[in-house]
Chains A and B, each alone.
Chain A
């Protein structure tokens, strides 16, 4: 598919839009439908489209296997790290009130942090699953 000019041009137009929409869904998830899970899957979808059009080798240049397999557990650790952070400061597990004085700001920071953990884990696991299936076929 590398020689097909329509796929290449359309992918070059679509992939940035997909990534921007994924981050919109992630950061605007407080006010509109969306959140870490959906955004993670969309980012993985953009990488899969890139791999289909330009080849897996070039996709592994922008999202290397080592980075992906590092980020997958990192997201879960970030999530549980937020919980442990509130434990350390003497609150319940995943109690966000330690992050700021005003409770609403604290909740905003907490939601942002754990959604970041979710998006990192989901995106990298989906990319890793895709790589695993493709690598097996070589």
Chain B
């Protein structure tokens, strides 16, 4: 039982780090831009967890004051994360709008294909200049 409790107490931070690292991996490895943005959103969500976890007090309650309770969790990280979520969806929409424009310009949202197309275009312009 003691072991379970020790694991449960550290589990929160471990999962936070795991989500963070997995989001980083998706951003690094996936060439598809939509999946890259999903990875970025995963990373962002893990940061919410990183802020909310220390605010919790075991045996406490949500920070809405009432005479029946005396122990409340910390309201400050809640405020910071609440605004961060709304700003996060704004920046996510901005990134997706950029993806839409990239798709219109190159016809694909795969990173390596875009790079290939760009190098081809550069070669073509160099040939034109030589002629």
A and B directly contacting (CB within 8 A): yes
By size class, the interface of chain A is: 10 to 19
Closest residue of chain B to A122, judged by CB? B86
Chain A hits for B97, CB < 8 A = 132-133
Say if the beta carbon of A101 comes within 8 Å of chain B. no
Chain B contact residue count (CB 8 A cutoff): 12
List the one stretch of A29-37, A46-54, A60-68, A82-90 in contact with chain B.
Answer: A29-37
User: Given A31-B64, A136-B100, do A37 and B93 touch, yes or no (CB 8 Å)?
Assistant: no
A129→B93 contact, CB < 8 A: yes
Instruction: Tell me, rounded to whole Å, the shortest Cβ–Cβ distance linking A136 to chain B.
Output: 6
Instruction: Tell me, rounded to whole Å, the shortest Cβ–Cβ distance linking A85 to chain B.
Output: 23
Instruction: Tell me, rounded to whole Å, the shortest Cβ–Cβ distance linking A109 to chain B.
Output: 21
Closest residue of chain B to A30, judged by CB? B64
Say if the beta carbon of B62 comes within 8 Å of chain A. yes
Q: How far is the CA of A32 from the CA of B96 in the complex (A)?
A: 34
Closest residue of chain B to A136, judged by CB? B100
Say if the beta carbon of A41 comes within 8 Å of chain B. yes
Instruction: Tell me, rounded to whole Å, the shortest Cβ–Cβ distance linking A36 to chain B.
Output: 10
User: Given A129-B93, A132-B97, do A41 and B64 touch, yes or no (CB 8 Å)?
Assistant: no
